Amino acid sequence: MPTLLHIDCSMRQDGSVTREITGIFAEEWRQANPDHTYVYRDLGASPIPHVDEASVVAGLLLQEELNEDQRRAWSVSEPLIKELRAADTIVLGVPMYNYSIPSVLKTWFDRVTVQEHMIQEPMSEGLLTGKRTIVVIARGGAYGPGTPRERYDFQMPYLRALLEQIGLDRNLEFVHVEMTLAHSVPALEQFKPIADTSREEAANNVRKLVLAG
């Protein structure tokens, strides 16, 4: 049965723009697909443990070869891997933290980027190839081409690289929201109209993506 995997990673429960926009996508997807499966994981509210040596080794061995520490480590990674493999559509909400992605999402990627998911050669097929992936990114300022802070955007290139190495770049859409701090930082107050327009456009874009199937 088609499955949506919905992942949020903002540390903010209230006022999070990424939670708002991914929530719109998820709600409209569920209304359009009432008989399909929906799985939600909140990495911000329930962080997963960082990988350690046992976690890395467990991803390379057969189950019968694991020792007790490795089995314990694999018990954390395995449900995440199963959720990802079962999903047909993935929606990620990713705020920019310190010019990159939240550490809790980096940990998730560390857990699911196992050897059997890796794309070994350019354009080759992998276990995850073909899944639809929508990434909602939010930034407090503006980091697009031609902006003064363009060179500080490590969020988009990093996400593209992470998704590409496990084959989730073939059916990938990014939805942007910028200037999210305009309503809370006095120095950015003049950019409130830009922030509001960006937020409204993002909401409309995810609705269109649901309709596009």
Can you tell me the mean pLDDT for 165-172?
94
Over the Cα atoms of the chain, what is R_g? 18
Flag whether pLDDT at 158 surpasses 80: yes
pLDDT digit string (tens) for 54-68? 998 888 887 889 999
Residue closest to 105 by CA, chosen among 158, 145, 35, 169: 158
Angle at 42 between CA 142 and CA 169, to 5 degrees: 60
Flag whether pLDDT at 86 surpasses 80: yes
Coil, strand or helix at 125: coil
Q: What is the pLDDT of residue 206?
A: 98
Flag whether pLDDT at 122 surpasses 80: no
pLDDT digit string (tens) for 180-211? 999 999 999 999 999 999 999 999 999 999 99
* % of residues, the chain, pLDDT over 70: 100
Compute the half-sphere exposure of residue 198: CA atoms within 13 Å on the CB side of its CA. Answer: 24
Q: How far apart are CA 134 and CA 152, in angstroms?
A: 23
pLDDT digit string (tens) for 171-185? 999 999 999 999 999
